[in-house]
Structure 1
Amino acid sequence: MTPPDADRIDVVYLWVDGADPHWQAKRRAAQDRTGANAGAARYGDVSGRYRDNGELRYNLRALQRFFPDHGHVHIVTDGQCPAWLRTGPGLGPGVSVVDHRTLMPAAALPVFDSGHIETYLHHLPGLSERFVYFNDDVFLGAPFDATWWFSEAGLAVFKEAALLPDYPGPQPHESALVNASLLSRAWLSASDPQYRHVPRIFAHSPRPMLVSAMRQLELEAPELFHAVRGTVFRSWAVPPLIPDLVPRWMVHLGRAIVRECAWAYLSSGAADAAEQFGELCASFGKLDFFCINDTSDNAAPDAHQLRRIAETLEQLLPYPSQFEH
């Protein structure tokens, strides 16, 4: 296989269609087999985690608008493919739909914990050294400057303003990001007595990454990778590594830099959701990125808060990308 272009920046997405009956049957069988609710993380196995509100379609529209020079697009799924997605020749850098079965050991499948799946992304065949990993609910909101996200000073990472609680380790009632930070603190402090933990959550953002760095971390922290690769559903006791440990480790090594930027986090189930979405529309084009988090959990598919997501995205990004039929 020809090595990827050193200057190329690929893009990686995870995607799932939670309304697919075949996928739903696999989820129910896994729940029955594992007793998933016993150790589930907070909001770790609710419908909102798997629901498709059309985010990937609009994410690709934002990608084409704000980062037209991106490399190959890799969409990692559990045997699914969006009906609207166009693949094949004539797509410039192109797009690949990668089945979990080609990336992960058969004995581990099926997997419903994104934190587990994420630990294999740097093993994607043909992936460029530099790549950006997106959850499909995190969108570019302004032109992507590759020299800012991947600079000589290091990869760009971002932290939130709120202080983290000071627990000795992961807690059943806490969010995955809080528990991920607590895990990071324990591992990094044990690895280097000089480590000083920043008591902030790292933002839910586009994640610039390096294949070589991920391979190095996998060798240095095999026990952490082994633990999260043992999950089926997200567990509060085994938090994800990619959202927190990876950026903190990179900052500690001097290979990433904490930057300030304009961004927004929207929660579809919040009492002030209408105001949040209105502010997004007013600031679109000026935000480096934004996240629309589906916190409506087990809402009906036609609930107004879910329609608001699709209607807002269509208003902001009305023009189809090259990846659509």
Structure 2
Amino acid sequence: MTHGDAPAGDIADGTEAKVDLSGYERVKQELVMPPFAPKHEQVATGKPKIVEIDFTIEEKKIQIDPDGTEIVALTFNGSVPGPMIVVHEGDYVELTLKNPETNLMEHNIDLHVATGALGGAGITTLLPGEEALLRFKATKPGVFIYHCAPEGSMTPYHVTHGMNGIIMVLPREGLKDEKGNSLSYDKLYYITEQEYYVPRDENGNFKSYNFAGEDFAEWVDVMRGLIPSHIVFNGAVGSLVGENALKASVGETVLFVHSQANRDTRPHLIGGHGDYVWEEGSFNNPPMKDLETWFIRGGSAGAALYKFLQPGVYVYLNHNLIEAVELGAAAHVVVDGKWDNSLMEQVYHGPIRN
């Protein structure tokens, strides 16, 4: 069975059974660029909805490091990662996926939250110039990845060219702690860790290519060595530092949603903690508390909630420090507010005292 074939007896095209959608309100989700999440309710009001999502696949050149290294990225809606989707448990997601005729490659989408047909990949495979409309019910609350999943080597090739993102399914009553008390956040930042396997020329310089798929054979050769050339946050080295650093204020609670579609990673907030952490991504499970570093399995997403108590620059990074410092998996969070000496105070700094 290929990804383009629905399993035997599948009714995903609606020809054998009809779903009663009467009573569902239709809403259009206005997607935004990472690291931000679309406008959403933390606690659902009203009945479950049909949430309409539009994805257009773009094959485009992007720069991935300050040295000017470029790749022809494969993207959902033009960004690496793709936009975050946010719905509530019990909602339907109605996703329109378009592969414009100007593209060169076949694409689809596998949503880890969806049930059946290879997460939707089995019924969304598109040649250039085609589109598909997929509807699925969000039955599992949590954070989940989505990614392109063609056959064979094309799956890791597409994922490592940027074609992945996150869907968050909130419980209808919102997030809860281990005792069932409500938890909320003032801001949400969405971070996807992305690795690349850029081939080098005979002089050791990164090669460049002009169109999608041109690098396929050489990229796969590097990929099979399992040693990335870059490991970055949100598409490029330094994408979340400087003018693009994440912002917060003392007293604000921030939800960090972190994914890695292919490799394990270990998020850590230098100077802060994970007050509440859904390490495995499921909001049905009680969160762990007060973690220094948490573990995100390859092919999954997790979430961590932290209330900032001190101002300053925090470094949010993969605590494989080689991958963070040498390859690019790091971000900054700039927090404003008043310093609290009861939490930390510089008592002395100067020459060694006898």
Q: Which has the higher helix share?
A: 1
Using CA pairs under 8 Å that are at least 6 residues apart, name the structure with larger relative contact order, 1 or 2.
Answer: 1
Fold match, TM over 0.5?
no
Q: Which has the higher strand share?
A: 2
- TM-score normalised by structure 2 residue count: 0.29
Q: Taking structure 1 as the reference length, what is the TM-score of the superposition?
A: 0.31
Larger Rg computed on CA atoms: 2
